[in-house]
Structure 1
Amino acid sequence: MSSTRSPSPPGPATELLIISHGSPSEPAPQEAFVRELAARVAEVSGAEVRGATLAAEGALEAAVEGLSHPLVFPHFMADGWFVATNMQKRLAKAGLAEWTTLTPLGLLSDLSALALEHLRRAMQESGLPVGETTLIVAAHGSPSNRRPAEVTERFAAQLRAAPDFAAVRTGYVDEEPSIEDAASVEGPALVLPFFAAEAGHVLMDLPEGLEAAGFDGLVLPPIGTWEEIPRLIAAHLRERAAA
Protein backbone atom coordinates (compact mmCIF):
# COMPACT_ATOMS: atom_id res chain seq x y z
CA MET A 1 0.00 0.00 0.00
CA SER A 2 1.18 3.51 -0.71
CA SER A 3 -0.98 6.53 -0.09
CA THR A 4 -0.02 10.16 -0.09
CA ARG A 5 -1.35 13.37 1.37
CA SER A 6 0.37 15.46 -1.28
CA PRO A 7 1.51 14.69 -4.86
CA SER A 8 4.82 16.48 -4.31
CA PRO A 9 7.83 14.21 -3.69
CA PRO A 10 9.75 14.03 -0.41
CA GLY A 11 12.54 16.54 -0.01
CA PRO A 12 16.22 15.66 -0.51
CA ALA A 13 16.80 15.12 3.22
CA THR A 14 14.97 11.94 4.14
CA GLU A 15 12.74 12.23 7.18
CA LEU A 16 11.01 9.12 8.47
CA LEU A 17 8.27 9.02 11.07
CA ILE A 18 7.41 5.58 12.47
CA ILE A 19 3.91 5.41 13.93
CA SER A 20 2.48 2.55 15.96
CA HIS A 21 -0.84 2.01 17.68
CA GLY A 22 0.40 2.04 21.25
CA SER A 23 -1.52 1.09 24.37
CA PRO A 24 -4.15 3.57 25.63
CA SER A 25 -4.31 1.91 29.06
CA GLU A 26 -0.53 1.92 29.54
CA PRO A 27 1.07 4.20 26.91
CA ALA A 28 4.60 4.59 28.27
CA PRO A 29 6.09 1.14 27.43
CA GLN A 30 4.89 1.19 23.83
CA GLU A 31 6.00 4.79 23.38
CA ALA A 32 9.47 3.79 24.58
CA PHE A 33 9.42 0.80 22.21
CA VAL A 34 8.62 2.82 19.07
CA ARG A 35 11.22 5.46 19.94
CA GLU A 36 13.86 2.77 20.41
CA LEU A 37 12.80 1.24 17.09
CA ALA A 38 13.20 4.66 15.44
CA ALA A 39 16.69 5.01 16.92
CA ARG A 40 17.71 1.61 15.58
CA VAL A 41 16.34 2.39 12.11
CA ALA A 42 18.22 5.72 12.15
CA GLU A 43 21.41 3.89 13.06
CA VAL A 44 21.24 1.50 10.12
CA SER A 45 19.79 3.94 7.57
CA GLY A 46 21.49 7.26 8.31
CA ALA A 47 18.14 9.03 7.98
CA GLU A 48 16.43 11.28 10.49
CA VAL A 49 13.92 8.96 12.13
CA ARG A 50 11.34 9.70 14.79
CA GLY A 51 8.80 7.45 16.43
CA ALA A 52 5.45 7.97 18.13
CA THR A 53 2.35 6.05 19.11
CA LEU A 54 -1.20 7.16 18.49
CA ALA A 55 -2.07 6.32 22.11
CA ALA A 56 0.35 8.50 24.08
CA GLU A 57 -1.04 11.98 24.63
CA GLY A 58 0.97 14.63 22.79
CA ALA A 59 3.45 12.12 21.35
CA LEU A 60 2.44 12.52 17.71
CA GLU A 61 2.34 16.32 17.96
CA ALA A 62 5.87 16.35 19.40
CA ALA A 63 7.16 13.93 16.77
CA VAL A 64 5.95 15.94 13.75
CA GLU A 65 7.34 19.25 14.99
CA GLY A 66 9.83 20.65 12.48
CA LEU A 67 9.16 18.02 9.82
CA SER A 68 8.40 19.25 6.31
CA HIS A 69 7.34 16.27 4.17
CA PRO A 70 8.28 13.06 5.97
CA LEU A 71 7.84 9.49 4.88
CA VAL A 72 5.47 7.89 7.39
CA PHE A 73 5.95 4.21 8.17
CA PRO A 74 2.95 2.54 9.83
CA HIS A 75 4.26 -0.05 12.29
CA PHE A 76 1.01 -1.94 11.86
CA MET A 77 0.30 -5.41 10.50
CA ALA A 78 -2.45 -4.30 8.08
CA ASP A 79 -3.68 -1.26 6.19
CA GLY A 80 -7.04 -1.17 7.89
CA TRP A 81 -8.99 1.69 9.47
CA PHE A 82 -6.23 2.86 11.81
CA VAL A 83 -3.73 3.29 8.97
CA ALA A 84 -6.04 4.37 6.16
CA THR A 85 -8.27 6.73 8.15
CA ASN A 86 -7.40 7.38 11.79
CA MET A 87 -3.68 7.90 11.34
CA GLN A 88 -4.20 10.26 8.39
CA LYS A 89 -6.61 12.42 10.40
CA ARG A 90 -4.30 12.42 13.40
CA LEU A 91 -1.32 13.56 11.32
CA ALA A 92 -3.27 16.48 9.91
CA LYS A 93 -4.63 17.39 13.34
CA ALA A 94 -1.08 17.27 14.74
CA GLY A 95 -0.13 20.05 12.32
CA LEU A 96 1.63 18.16 9.54
CA ALA A 97 0.82 19.64 6.12
CA GLU A 98 2.38 17.04 3.82
CA TRP A 99 3.52 13.47 4.16
CA THR A 100 3.80 10.23 2.21
CA THR A 101 2.50 7.02 3.77
CA LEU A 102 4.66 3.95 3.20
CA THR A 103 3.59 0.33 3.10
CA PRO A 104 2.76 -0.97 6.60
CA LEU A 105 5.00 -3.59 8.18
CA GLY A 106 2.63 -6.50 7.63
CA LEU A 107 2.45 -5.88 3.87
CA LEU A 108 6.18 -5.50 3.16
CA SER A 109 7.12 -7.86 0.35
CA ASP A 110 10.21 -9.19 2.14
CA LEU A 111 8.50 -9.90 5.47
CA SER A 112 7.60 -13.52 4.75
CA ALA A 113 11.15 -14.33 3.59
CA LEU A 114 12.57 -12.76 6.75
CA ALA A 115 10.03 -14.69 8.84
CA LEU A 116 10.96 -17.97 7.16
CA GLU A 117 14.64 -17.48 7.96
CA HIS A 118 13.78 -16.60 11.55
CA LEU A 119 11.47 -19.61 11.88
CA ARG A 120 14.08 -21.98 10.49
CA ARG A 121 16.61 -20.81 13.07
CA ALA A 122 14.07 -21.12 15.87
CA MET A 123 13.11 -24.64 14.80
CA GLN A 124 16.73 -25.72 14.57
CA GLU A 125 17.58 -24.26 17.98
CA SER A 126 14.50 -25.87 19.55
CA GLY A 127 14.89 -29.24 17.87
CA LEU A 128 11.56 -29.02 16.03
CA PRO A 129 11.50 -31.40 13.04
CA VAL A 130 11.49 -29.77 9.61
CA GLY A 131 8.45 -30.78 7.57
CA GLU A 132 6.68 -32.24 10.60
CA THR A 133 6.03 -29.10 12.64
CA THR A 134 2.77 -27.15 12.51
CA LEU A 135 3.10 -23.38 12.36
CA ILE A 136 0.32 -21.35 13.98
CA VAL A 137 0.11 -17.72 12.87
CA ALA A 138 -1.73 -15.85 15.61
CA ALA A 139 -3.17 -12.46 14.65
CA HIS A 140 -5.67 -9.79 15.65
CA GLY A 141 -8.39 -10.04 13.02
CA SER A 142 -11.50 -7.86 13.07
CA PRO A 143 -15.23 -8.67 13.18
CA SER A 144 -16.05 -5.55 11.14
CA ASN A 145 -13.22 -5.32 8.61
CA ARG A 146 -11.91 -8.18 6.47
CA ARG A 147 -8.64 -6.42 5.66
CA PRO A 148 -6.58 -7.53 8.72
CA ALA A 149 -7.45 -11.19 8.14
CA GLU A 150 -6.77 -10.87 4.41
CA VAL A 151 -3.26 -9.59 5.13
CA THR A 152 -2.66 -12.38 7.65
CA GLU A 153 -3.92 -15.07 5.27
CA ARG A 154 -1.71 -13.77 2.48
CA PHE A 155 1.30 -13.90 4.79
CA ALA A 156 0.39 -17.44 5.89
CA ALA A 157 -0.04 -18.55 2.27
CA GLN A 158 3.48 -17.37 1.48
CA LEU A 159 4.83 -19.51 4.32
CA ARG A 160 2.78 -22.51 3.16
CA ALA A 161 4.74 -22.43 -0.09
CA ALA A 162 7.86 -23.49 1.86
CA PRO A 163 8.39 -27.19 2.63
CA ASP A 164 9.38 -26.54 6.26
CA PHE A 165 5.99 -27.07 7.91
CA ALA A 166 3.49 -29.89 8.15
CA ALA A 167 0.77 -27.23 8.06
CA VAL A 168 0.33 -23.50 8.53
CA ARG A 169 -2.78 -22.54 10.52
CA THR A 170 -4.15 -19.10 11.34
CA GLY A 171 -6.04 -18.05 14.46
CA TYR A 172 -7.45 -14.70 15.57
CA VAL A 173 -8.22 -12.73 18.70
CA ASP A 174 -11.32 -11.02 17.27
CA GLU A 175 -12.75 -13.45 14.72
CA GLU A 176 -12.93 -17.09 13.72
CA PRO A 177 -11.03 -19.33 13.62
CA SER A 178 -9.97 -18.49 17.15
CA ILE A 179 -6.46 -18.89 18.48
CA GLU A 180 -7.75 -21.75 20.63
CA ASP A 181 -9.04 -23.54 17.52
CA ALA A 182 -5.85 -22.92 15.55
CA ALA A 183 -3.61 -24.12 18.38
CA SER A 184 -5.57 -27.33 19.00
CA VAL A 185 -3.10 -29.54 17.15
CA GLU A 186 -1.25 -32.78 17.75
CA GLY A 187 2.46 -33.17 17.31
CA PRO A 188 5.23 -30.56 17.27
CA ALA A 189 4.12 -26.98 16.72
CA LEU A 190 5.16 -23.38 17.21
CA VAL A 191 3.36 -20.05 17.30
CA LEU A 192 4.29 -16.94 15.34
CA PRO A 193 2.44 -13.88 16.75
CA PHE A 194 1.63 -11.71 13.74
CA PHE A 195 1.58 -8.55 15.85
CA ALA A 196 3.58 -5.32 15.68
CA ALA A 197 4.34 -5.05 19.39
CA GLU A 198 4.31 -6.94 22.65
CA ALA A 199 1.21 -5.36 24.13
CA GLY A 200 -2.23 -6.36 25.42
CA HIS A 201 -3.27 -8.95 22.84
CA VAL A 202 0.12 -10.68 22.93
CA LEU A 203 0.41 -10.48 26.71
CA MET A 204 -3.16 -11.50 27.59
CA ASP A 205 -5.38 -12.76 24.75
CA LEU A 206 -2.77 -14.94 23.08
CA PRO A 207 -1.72 -16.81 26.27
CA GLU A 208 -5.38 -17.30 27.21
CA GLY A 209 -6.17 -18.83 23.82
CA LEU A 210 -3.12 -21.09 23.91
CA GLU A 211 -3.90 -22.22 27.45
CA ALA A 212 -7.47 -23.05 26.45
CA ALA A 213 -6.08 -25.16 23.61
CA GLY A 214 -3.66 -26.94 25.93
CA PHE A 215 -0.78 -25.71 23.79
CA ASP A 216 2.62 -26.00 25.46
CA GLY A 217 4.91 -25.56 22.47
CA LEU A 218 7.25 -22.78 21.38
CA VAL A 219 5.81 -19.26 21.18
CA LEU A 220 8.00 -16.71 19.40
CA PRO A 221 8.11 -13.00 20.23
CA PRO A 222 5.75 -10.88 18.08
CA ILE A 223 7.18 -10.36 14.62
CA GLY A 224 7.25 -6.57 14.89
CA THR A 225 9.77 -6.79 17.75
CA TRP A 226 12.30 -9.04 16.03
CA GLU A 227 15.86 -7.75 15.81
CA GLU A 228 15.79 -7.97 12.01
CA ILE A 229 12.91 -5.49 11.67
CA PRO A 230 14.94 -2.22 11.79
CA ARG A 231 17.02 -3.33 8.80
CA LEU A 232 13.87 -4.34 6.94
CA ILE A 233 12.35 -0.91 7.54
CA ALA A 234 15.62 0.80 6.54
CA ALA A 235 15.70 -1.16 3.28
CA HIS A 236 12.10 -0.15 2.54
CA LEU A 237 12.99 3.47 3.32
CA ARG A 238 15.94 3.42 0.90
CA GLU A 239 13.78 1.93 -1.85
CA ARG A 240 11.05 4.51 -1.39
CA ALA A 241 13.40 7.47 -1.07
CA ALA A 242 15.13 6.45 -4.30
CA ALA A 243 11.85 6.05 -6.23
Structure 2
Amino acid sequence: MTHQALIIAHGSPADPAPQEAALQALAAKVAALLPGWTVKGTTLATPGALETALADMANPLIYPFFMAEGWFTRTTLPKRLAAAGRTDLIQLPAFGHDPALPALLTKAAQAAVTNPAETTLILAAHGSQVSRASATITESIAAKLRQSAGFAAVLTGYVEEEPFLHHTARVVGPALCLPCFATSAGHVIDDIPEALEQAAFPGPLLPPIGAHPDVPALIARALQTGGQP
Protein backbone atom coordinates (compact mmCIF):
# COMPACT_ATOMS: atom_id res chain seq x y z
CA MET A 1 0.00 0.00 0.00
CA THR A 2 1.32 3.42 -0.98
CA HIS A 3 1.05 6.09 1.68
CA GLN A 4 0.44 9.66 0.58
CA ALA A 5 0.36 13.03 2.34
CA LEU A 6 -0.19 16.63 1.34
CA ILE A 7 1.23 19.39 3.55
CA ILE A 8 -0.77 22.60 3.13
CA ALA A 9 0.09 26.10 4.37
CA HIS A 10 -1.63 29.44 3.89
CA GLY A 11 1.09 30.98 1.75
CA SER A 12 1.42 34.62 0.76
CA PRO A 13 -1.23 35.94 -1.66
CA ALA A 14 0.88 38.99 -2.51
CA ASP A 15 3.91 36.90 -3.46
CA PRO A 16 2.93 33.22 -3.60
CA ALA A 17 5.93 31.69 -5.37
CA PRO A 18 8.50 31.72 -2.50
CA GLN A 19 6.12 30.08 -0.02
CA GLU A 20 5.00 27.52 -2.60
CA ALA A 21 8.64 26.58 -3.17
CA ALA A 22 9.25 26.45 0.59
CA LEU A 23 6.36 24.01 1.11
CA GLN A 24 7.62 21.77 -1.67
CA ALA A 25 11.08 21.78 -0.09
CA LEU A 26 9.58 20.92 3.30
CA ALA A 27 7.61 18.06 1.75
CA ALA A 28 10.79 16.68 0.20
CA LYS A 29 12.49 16.64 3.61
CA VAL A 30 9.52 14.85 5.17
CA ALA A 31 9.42 12.33 2.32
CA ALA A 32 13.10 11.55 2.87
CA LEU A 33 12.18 10.38 6.38
CA LEU A 34 9.27 8.22 5.17
CA PRO A 35 10.45 5.60 2.66
CA GLY A 36 7.58 4.40 0.53
CA TRP A 37 5.54 7.58 1.06
CA THR A 38 4.59 10.20 -1.50
CA VAL A 39 4.60 13.59 0.21
CA LYS A 40 3.74 16.87 -1.48
CA GLY A 41 3.56 20.43 -0.24
CA THR A 42 1.48 23.36 -1.42
CA THR A 43 -0.24 26.58 -0.32
CA LEU A 44 -3.77 27.90 -0.45
CA ALA A 45 -2.50 31.22 -1.82
CA THR A 46 -1.05 29.88 -5.07
CA PRO A 47 -3.90 29.74 -7.64
CA GLY A 48 -4.64 26.18 -8.70
CA ALA A 49 -1.74 24.66 -6.76
CA LEU A 50 -3.86 22.69 -4.31
CA GLU A 51 -5.97 21.22 -7.07
CA THR A 52 -2.91 20.33 -9.14
CA ALA A 53 -1.25 18.62 -6.17
CA LEU A 54 -4.37 16.53 -5.52
CA ALA A 55 -4.89 15.52 -9.12
CA ASP A 56 -2.71 12.40 -9.02
CA MET A 57 -3.07 11.55 -5.33
CA ALA A 58 -5.52 8.78 -4.45
CA ASN A 59 -6.05 9.15 -0.71
CA PRO A 60 -3.53 11.53 0.88
CA LEU A 61 -3.51 12.51 4.51
CA ILE A 62 -3.98 16.28 4.76
CA TYR A 63 -1.48 17.96 7.07
CA PRO A 64 -2.33 21.63 7.83
CA PHE A 65 0.92 23.54 8.33
CA PHE A 66 -0.81 26.18 10.46
CA MET A 67 -0.23 27.26 14.04
CA ALA A 68 -3.90 27.23 15.06
CA GLU A 69 -7.11 25.35 14.40
CA GLY A 70 -9.04 28.34 13.17
CA TRP A 71 -10.87 29.69 10.13
CA PHE A 72 -8.38 28.44 7.57
CA THR A 73 -8.15 24.87 8.86
CA ARG A 74 -11.80 24.42 9.82
CA THR A 75 -13.54 26.37 7.06
CA THR A 76 -11.34 27.50 4.17
CA LEU A 77 -9.34 24.30 3.70
CA PRO A 78 -12.33 21.92 3.89
CA LYS A 79 -14.17 24.11 1.38
CA ARG A 80 -11.23 24.05 -1.01
CA LEU A 81 -10.95 20.28 -0.70
CA ALA A 82 -14.69 19.88 -1.28
CA ALA A 83 -14.54 22.16 -4.31
CA ALA A 84 -11.83 19.86 -5.70
CA GLY A 85 -14.18 16.93 -5.21
CA ARG A 86 -12.23 15.55 -2.25
CA THR A 87 -14.55 15.27 0.73
CA ASP A 88 -13.20 11.83 1.65
CA LEU A 89 -9.77 12.85 2.92
CA ILE A 90 -8.53 12.69 6.50
CA GLN A 91 -7.31 16.04 7.82
CA LEU A 92 -4.84 15.81 10.69
CA PRO A 93 -4.52 18.39 13.51
CA ALA A 94 -2.65 21.56 12.65
CA PHE A 95 1.10 21.82 13.21
CA GLY A 96 0.65 24.20 16.14
CA HIS A 97 -1.41 21.62 18.02
CA ASP A 98 1.18 18.84 17.85
CA PRO A 99 1.87 17.64 21.43
CA ALA A 100 5.58 17.65 20.60
CA LEU A 101 5.68 21.35 19.71
CA PRO A 102 6.27 22.76 23.23
CA ALA A 103 9.35 20.56 23.57
CA LEU A 104 10.61 21.75 20.19
CA LEU A 105 10.07 25.39 21.14
CA THR A 106 11.95 24.75 24.38
CA LYS A 107 14.83 23.14 22.48
CA ALA A 108 15.06 26.04 20.01
CA ALA A 109 14.95 28.69 22.73
CA GLN A 110 17.40 27.00 25.11
CA ALA A 111 19.92 26.46 22.31
CA ALA A 112 20.01 30.21 21.66
CA VAL A 113 20.98 31.38 25.16
CA THR A 114 23.69 30.71 27.72
CA ASN A 115 21.54 30.91 30.83
CA PRO A 116 17.78 30.43 30.39
CA ALA A 117 17.19 31.09 34.11
CA GLU A 118 18.29 34.70 33.57
CA THR A 119 16.51 35.18 30.23
CA THR A 120 13.00 36.35 29.32
CA LEU A 121 11.51 34.34 26.47
CA ILE A 122 8.88 36.06 24.34
CA LEU A 123 6.67 33.95 22.10
CA ALA A 124 5.54 36.14 19.19
CA ALA A 125 2.30 35.02 17.55
CA HIS A 126 -0.31 36.17 15.07
CA GLY A 127 -3.36 36.81 17.21
CA SER A 128 -6.63 38.13 15.81
CA GLN A 129 -9.29 40.72 16.52
CA VAL A 130 -11.93 38.19 15.39
CA SER A 131 -10.92 34.69 16.50
CA ARG A 132 -9.36 33.41 19.73
CA ALA A 133 -7.75 30.42 18.00
CA SER A 134 -4.22 31.84 17.71
CA ALA A 135 -4.13 33.27 21.22
CA THR A 136 -5.63 30.15 22.77
CA ILE A 137 -3.00 27.76 21.42
CA THR A 138 -0.17 30.26 22.06
CA GLU A 139 -1.19 30.80 25.68
CA SER A 140 -1.48 27.03 26.16
CA ILE A 141 2.04 26.53 24.84
CA ALA A 142 3.38 29.41 26.95
CA ALA A 143 1.87 27.84 30.07
CA LYS A 144 3.67 24.57 29.36
CA LEU A 145 6.98 26.38 28.80
CA ARG A 146 6.61 28.28 32.08
CA GLN A 147 6.42 24.95 33.87
CA SER A 148 9.32 23.18 32.21
CA ALA A 149 11.57 25.33 30.00
CA GLY A 150 13.55 26.98 32.81
CA PHE A 151 13.36 30.59 31.61
CA ALA A 152 13.10 33.53 33.99
CA ALA A 153 9.80 34.42 32.34
CA VAL A 154 7.80 33.32 29.30
CA LEU A 155 5.69 36.11 27.80
CA THR A 156 3.41 36.30 24.77
CA GLY A 157 3.08 39.14 22.30
CA TYR A 158 0.77 39.36 19.29
CA VAL A 159 0.79 41.11 15.94
CA GLU A 160 -2.97 41.63 15.74
CA GLU A 161 -4.31 41.69 19.32
CA GLU A 162 -3.39 42.57 22.88
CA PRO A 163 -0.95 42.13 24.42
CA PHE A 164 0.73 43.54 21.33
CA LEU A 165 4.30 42.47 20.72
CA HIS A 166 5.63 46.03 20.72
CA HIS A 167 4.35 46.33 24.31
CA THR A 168 5.41 42.89 25.57
CA ALA A 169 8.90 43.30 24.16
CA ARG A 170 9.69 46.29 26.38
CA VAL A 171 11.76 44.20 28.77
CA VAL A 172 15.00 44.81 30.62
CA GLY A 173 17.84 42.34 30.75
CA PRO A 174 18.64 39.23 28.70
CA ALA A 175 15.78 38.32 26.40
CA LEU A 176 14.91 36.24 23.37
CA CYS A 177 12.04 36.33 20.87
CA LEU A 178 10.81 33.15 19.20
CA PRO A 179 8.06 33.49 16.56
CA CYS A 180 5.26 30.92 16.85
CA PHE A 181 4.70 30.90 13.10
CA ALA A 182 4.78 28.00 10.66
CA THR A 183 6.27 29.90 7.72
CA SER A 184 8.54 32.86 7.06
CA ALA A 185 5.99 35.16 5.47
CA GLY A 186 5.02 38.82 5.94
CA HIS A 187 4.44 38.96 9.69
CA VAL A 188 7.74 37.22 10.41
CA ILE A 189 9.71 39.18 7.84
CA ASP A 190 8.26 42.64 8.50
CA ASP A 191 5.88 43.04 11.43
CA ILE A 192 7.78 41.20 14.15
CA PRO A 193 11.15 42.91 13.53
CA GLU A 194 9.37 46.28 13.37
CA ALA A 195 7.60 45.64 16.68
CA LEU A 196 10.86 44.62 18.36
CA GLU A 197 12.62 47.70 17.03
CA GLN A 198 9.79 49.89 18.29
CA ALA A 199 10.15 48.32 21.74
CA ALA A 200 13.97 48.58 21.73
CA PHE A 201 14.01 44.86 22.41
CA PRO A 202 17.39 43.90 23.89
CA GLY A 203 17.65 40.33 22.63
CA PRO A 204 17.92 38.33 19.40
CA LEU A 205 15.07 37.27 17.16
CA LEU A 206 15.06 33.59 16.20
CA PRO A 207 13.66 32.11 12.98
CA PRO A 208 10.02 30.98 13.17
CA ILE A 209 9.55 27.59 14.81
CA GLY A 210 8.26 26.18 11.54
CA ALA A 211 11.74 26.63 10.07
CA HIS A 212 13.46 24.55 12.77
CA PRO A 213 15.50 21.63 11.38
CA ASP A 214 13.51 19.16 13.51
CA VAL A 215 10.16 20.09 11.97
CA PRO A 216 10.29 17.53 9.11
CA ALA A 217 10.74 14.76 11.68
CA LEU A 218 7.85 16.12 13.74
CA ILE A 219 5.60 16.11 10.68
CA ALA A 220 6.77 12.65 9.67
CA ARG A 221 5.81 11.28 13.09
CA ALA A 222 2.40 12.92 12.88
CA LEU A 223 1.78 11.34 9.49
CA GLN A 224 2.88 7.91 10.67
CA THR A 225 0.65 8.03 13.75
CA GLY A 226 -2.32 9.69 12.11
CA GLY A 227 -1.91 12.74 14.30
CA GLN A 228 -2.13 10.76 17.55
CA PRO A 229 0.35 11.44 20.41
Q: TM-score range by the shorter chain?
A: over 0.9
Q: How does 1:110-149 map to 2 (within 5 A)?
A: 110-123=100-113, 127=114, 129-149=115-135
Q: 1:241 to 1:217 in 2, by over 3 A?
A: closer
Structure 2 residue 72 is matched with structure 1 residue 82: yes
User: Could you say which residue in structure 2 is the equivalent of 1:195?
Assistant: 181
Give the secondary-structure state (helix, strand or coil) at the position aligned to 2:112. helix
The TM-score, its normalising length taken from structure 2, stands at 0.96
Query: What is the alpha-carbon distance in structure 2 between the residues aligned to residue 115 and residue 130 of structure 1?
Result: 13
2:28 to 34, 39, 42: 39
AA of the residue aligned to 1:39: A
Structure 1, gaps ≥5 residues long: 1-11
Q: Report the CA distance between 1:68 and its aligned residue.
A: 2.2
Structure 2, gaps ≥5 residues long: none
Query: What is the alpha-carbon distance in structure 1 between the residues aligned to residue 227 and residue 148 of structure 2?
Result: 32
Q: How many percent identity over aligned positions?
A: 49
Alpha carbon RMSD of aligned pairs, Å?
1.5
Is 1:77–1:195's contact at 8 Å kept on the other side of the alignment?
yes
Q: 1:168 to 1:131 in 2, by over 3 A?
A: same
User: Could you say which residue in structure 2 is the equivalent of 1:4?
Assistant: none
2:153 to 167, 178, 203: 167
Q: Report the CA distance between 1:16 and its aligned residue.
A: 0.4
Q: Report the CA distance between 1:163 and its aligned residue.
A: 5.1
User: Could you say which residue in structure 1 is the equivalent of 2:169?
Assistant: 183
Is 1:34–1:53's contact at 8 Å kept on the other side of the alignment?
yes
Give the secondary-structure state (helix, strand or coil) at the position aligned to 2:11. coil
Q: 1:71 to 1:186 in 2, by over 3 A?
A: same
1:93 to 78, 83, 89: 83
What stretches of structure 1 move > 3 A for 4+ residues in a row?
A: none
Give the secondary-structure state (helix, strand or coil) at the position aligned to 1:100. coil
Query: What is the alpha-carbon distance in structure 1 between the residues aligned to residue 86 and residue 4 of structure 2?
Result: 13
The TM-score, its normalising length taken from structure 1, stands at 0.90
